[in-house]
Amino acid sequence: MLACALVAPATASARDAAHAPPTAHLSQAAAASNADPAADPLLAHFLDVARAYWGAAPKCPAGISLQRAQWLPDPGVWAAAMQGGCAMAFDPDYYPAPAGYDVGWWQAAMCSVVAHEWGHLLGYGHVADPNKLMNPVTPLNLVAGCPTWGVSAAAPAPSAPAPAPSRATRPAAQKKRTAAKRTCAAKARRGSKRTRRRCPARAKRRSARR
Protein backbone atom coordinates (compact mmCIF):
# COMPACT_ATOMS: atom_id res chain seq x y z
CA MET A 1 0.00 0.00 0.00
CA LEU A 2 1.43 3.36 -1.06
CA ALA A 3 0.96 6.05 1.58
CA CYS A 4 1.46 9.72 0.85
CA ALA A 5 1.76 12.98 2.78
CA LEU A 6 0.54 16.47 2.02
CA VAL A 7 1.30 19.57 4.09
CA ALA A 8 -0.86 22.40 5.32
CA PRO A 9 0.04 25.40 7.51
CA ALA A 10 -0.36 24.49 11.18
CA THR A 11 -0.89 27.90 12.78
CA ALA A 12 -2.79 31.11 12.21
CA SER A 13 0.45 32.93 11.45
CA ALA A 14 1.03 30.48 8.61
CA ARG A 15 -1.79 32.18 6.77
CA ASP A 16 -0.08 35.57 6.93
CA ALA A 17 0.19 36.76 3.33
CA ALA A 18 3.75 37.99 3.87
CA HIS A 19 5.01 34.56 4.92
CA ALA A 20 2.49 32.04 3.62
CA PRO A 21 4.12 29.38 1.41
CA PRO A 22 2.84 28.95 -2.14
CA THR A 23 0.23 26.24 -2.49
CA ALA A 24 0.19 25.72 -6.26
CA HIS A 25 1.90 22.77 -7.95
CA LEU A 26 5.24 24.27 -8.95
CA SER A 27 7.86 23.51 -11.56
CA GLN A 28 10.70 25.65 -10.18
CA ALA A 29 12.41 22.54 -8.82
CA ALA A 30 13.25 21.47 -12.37
CA ALA A 31 16.33 23.67 -12.13
CA ALA A 32 17.60 21.35 -9.39
CA SER A 33 16.70 18.12 -11.19
CA ASN A 34 20.03 16.58 -10.23
CA ALA A 35 19.38 16.86 -6.49
CA ASP A 36 19.85 13.51 -4.83
CA PRO A 37 17.91 13.01 -1.56
CA ALA A 38 20.14 10.07 -0.66
CA ALA A 39 23.14 12.44 -0.53
CA ASP A 40 21.38 15.33 1.20
CA PRO A 41 22.73 15.93 4.74
CA LEU A 42 19.58 17.84 5.69
CA LEU A 43 17.35 14.89 4.80
CA ALA A 44 19.77 12.58 6.62
CA HIS A 45 19.28 14.73 9.70
CA PHE A 46 15.49 14.61 9.28
CA LEU A 47 15.71 10.81 9.08
CA ASP A 48 17.60 10.78 12.38
CA VAL A 49 14.90 12.99 13.90
CA ALA A 50 12.20 10.61 12.61
CA ARG A 51 14.01 7.58 14.05
CA ALA A 52 14.27 9.28 17.44
CA TYR A 53 10.62 10.36 17.35
CA TRP A 54 9.34 6.84 16.68
CA GLY A 55 11.99 5.11 18.75
CA ALA A 56 12.26 2.40 16.10
CA ALA A 57 13.67 1.75 12.66
CA PRO A 58 12.17 -0.17 9.71
CA LYS A 59 13.46 -3.70 9.14
CA CYS A 60 15.54 -2.83 6.12
CA PRO A 61 18.88 -4.72 6.06
CA ALA A 62 20.03 -2.84 2.96
CA GLY A 63 18.95 0.54 4.38
CA ILE A 64 16.22 2.94 3.27
CA SER A 65 16.14 4.00 -0.36
CA LEU A 66 15.56 7.73 -0.92
CA GLN A 67 14.62 8.91 -4.40
CA ARG A 68 12.95 11.70 -6.31
CA ALA A 69 9.90 10.49 -8.19
CA GLN A 70 7.57 12.06 -10.76
CA TRP A 71 4.95 9.34 -10.33
CA LEU A 72 3.35 10.44 -7.04
CA PRO A 73 -0.45 10.24 -7.39
CA ASP A 74 -1.51 13.77 -6.39
CA PRO A 75 -0.16 17.21 -7.36
CA GLY A 76 -0.16 18.26 -3.69
CA VAL A 77 1.73 15.22 -2.40
CA TRP A 78 5.24 15.95 -1.09
CA ALA A 79 6.41 12.39 -0.48
CA ALA A 80 5.29 8.79 -0.37
CA ALA A 81 6.41 5.52 1.17
CA MET A 82 5.32 1.93 0.93
CA GLN A 83 3.67 0.87 4.19
CA GLY A 84 6.05 -1.58 5.81
CA GLY A 85 8.53 -1.03 2.99
CA CYS A 86 12.06 0.34 2.68
CA ALA A 87 11.75 3.23 0.20
CA MET A 88 10.77 6.87 0.47
CA ALA A 89 10.09 9.00 -2.61
CA PHE A 90 9.99 12.80 -2.84
CA ASP A 91 8.02 14.79 -5.39
CA PRO A 92 10.43 17.02 -7.39
CA ASP A 93 7.93 19.86 -7.18
CA TYR A 94 8.57 20.01 -3.41
CA TYR A 95 12.11 18.65 -3.10
CA PRO A 96 14.44 20.42 -3.02
CA ALA A 97 12.81 23.59 -1.70
CA PRO A 98 11.22 25.37 -4.67
CA ALA A 99 11.99 29.01 -5.37
CA GLY A 100 9.52 31.30 -3.68
CA TYR A 101 8.96 29.06 -0.67
CA ASP A 102 9.70 30.31 2.82
CA VAL A 103 12.79 28.24 3.66
CA GLY A 104 11.97 28.02 7.37
CA TRP A 105 8.47 26.79 6.61
CA TRP A 106 9.74 24.33 4.03
CA GLN A 107 12.25 22.81 6.44
CA ALA A 108 9.64 22.49 9.21
CA ALA A 109 7.21 20.91 6.74
CA MET A 110 9.71 18.54 5.09
CA CYS A 111 11.00 17.32 8.43
CA SER A 112 7.42 16.56 9.51
CA VAL A 113 6.76 14.79 6.18
CA VAL A 114 9.87 12.62 6.62
CA ALA A 115 8.73 11.66 10.13
CA HIS A 116 5.26 10.89 8.70
CA GLU A 117 6.72 8.67 5.98
CA TRP A 118 8.96 6.96 8.53
CA GLY A 119 5.77 5.98 10.33
CA HIS A 120 4.56 4.33 7.12
CA LEU A 121 7.83 2.40 6.82
CA LEU A 122 7.18 1.11 10.33
CA GLY A 123 3.77 -0.12 9.18
CA TYR A 124 1.51 2.68 10.42
CA GLY A 125 -1.35 3.88 8.25
CA HIS A 126 -3.18 7.18 8.08
CA VAL A 127 -5.41 8.45 10.88
CA ALA A 128 -8.39 10.81 10.74
CA ASP A 129 -7.32 13.09 13.60
CA PRO A 130 -5.91 16.28 11.97
CA ASN A 131 -3.70 16.89 15.02
CA LYS A 132 -1.83 13.58 14.67
CA LEU A 133 1.35 13.15 12.67
CA MET A 134 -0.14 10.30 10.62
CA ASN A 135 -2.98 12.41 9.27
CA PRO A 136 -2.66 12.58 5.45
CA VAL A 137 -2.29 16.37 5.72
CA THR A 138 0.78 16.39 7.94
CA PRO A 139 0.64 18.98 10.76
CA LEU A 140 3.71 20.94 11.76
CA ASN A 141 5.38 21.50 15.13
CA LEU A 142 4.64 18.01 16.47
CA VAL A 143 7.97 16.24 16.07
CA ALA A 144 10.66 17.01 18.63
CA GLY A 145 13.87 17.89 16.81
CA CYS A 146 12.15 19.21 13.68
CA PRO A 147 12.40 22.93 12.96
CA THR A 148 9.33 24.81 14.17
CA TRP A 149 7.47 27.40 12.18
CA GLY A 150 5.02 30.08 13.32
CA VAL A 151 5.77 29.39 16.99
CA SER A 152 7.30 32.05 19.22
CA ALA A 153 10.04 30.76 21.50
CA ALA A 154 9.02 31.81 25.00
CA ALA A 155 11.68 32.21 27.68
CA PRO A 156 11.07 29.95 30.67
CA ALA A 157 9.59 31.70 33.67
CA PRO A 158 12.07 32.15 36.53
CA SER A 159 11.45 29.73 39.33
CA ALA A 160 10.45 31.30 42.64
CA PRO A 161 12.57 30.40 45.68
CA ALA A 162 11.00 27.95 48.09
CA PRO A 163 9.42 29.81 51.03
CA ALA A 164 11.06 29.33 54.42
CA PRO A 165 8.94 27.29 56.83
CA SER A 166 6.96 29.48 59.19
CA ARG A 167 6.54 28.83 62.90
CA ALA A 168 2.96 27.83 62.23
CA THR A 169 4.05 25.07 59.82
CA ARG A 170 6.82 23.52 61.94
CA PRO A 171 6.27 19.86 62.84
CA ALA A 172 4.78 19.13 66.26
CA ALA A 173 7.90 17.19 67.34
CA GLN A 174 10.08 20.20 66.55
CA LYS A 175 7.80 22.47 68.57
CA LYS A 176 8.00 20.07 71.51
CA ARG A 177 11.81 20.00 71.42
CA THR A 178 11.99 23.78 71.25
CA ALA A 179 9.66 24.16 74.27
CA ALA A 180 11.71 21.64 76.25
CA LYS A 181 14.93 23.54 75.51
CA ARG A 182 13.38 26.79 76.70
CA THR A 183 12.17 25.17 79.96
CA CYS A 184 15.57 23.62 80.54
CA ALA A 185 17.35 26.91 79.95
CA ALA A 186 15.07 28.71 82.41
CA LYS A 187 15.74 26.14 85.13
CA ALA A 188 19.48 26.25 84.45
CA ARG A 189 19.46 29.99 85.05
CA ARG A 190 17.93 29.38 88.48
CA GLY A 191 20.94 27.20 89.39
CA SER A 192 19.21 23.99 90.41
CA LYS A 193 21.63 21.02 90.81
CA ARG A 194 18.95 18.76 89.47
CA THR A 195 18.61 20.94 86.44
CA ARG A 196 22.38 20.92 85.89
CA ARG A 197 22.27 17.16 85.68
CA ARG A 198 19.42 17.30 83.10
CA CYS A 199 20.81 20.24 81.18
CA PRO A 200 24.62 19.96 81.52
CA ALA A 201 25.32 22.00 78.39
CA ARG A 202 23.17 24.89 79.56
CA ALA A 203 24.64 24.72 83.10
CA LYS A 204 28.20 24.65 81.76
CA ARG A 205 27.61 27.73 79.63
CA ARG A 206 26.07 29.47 82.65
CA SER A 207 29.09 28.59 84.83
CA ALA A 208 31.48 29.83 82.17
CA ARG A 209 29.74 33.20 82.06
CA ARG A 210 30.29 33.54 85.82
Using alpha carbons, list the distances in angstroms from residue 166 to 79, 107, 183.
62, 53, 22
pTM for the model stands at 0.62
Reported as a single tens digit per residue, the pLDDT across 121-171 is: 999 999 999 999 999 999 999 999 999 998 765 444 445 554 544 444 445
Please report the pLDDT score of residue 69 as a whole number. 85
With cut-offs at 50, 70 and 90, classify the pLDDT of residue 112: very high
The CATH number of the domain covering residues in 2-138:
3.30.2010
- The confidence band for 181, taking pLDDT boundaries of 50, 70 and 90, is low
Give me the amino acid identity at 26: L
Residues 46-59: pLDDT tens digits?
999 999 999 999 99
Could you tell me which residue, 16 or 149, shows the higher pLDDT?
A: 149
Residue intervals of the chain classified under CATH 3.30.2010 are 2-138
What pLDDT sits at residue 177? 62
Q: 131-148: b or e for each residue (b if 16 or more CB lie within 10 Å)?
A: eebbbbebbbebbeebbb
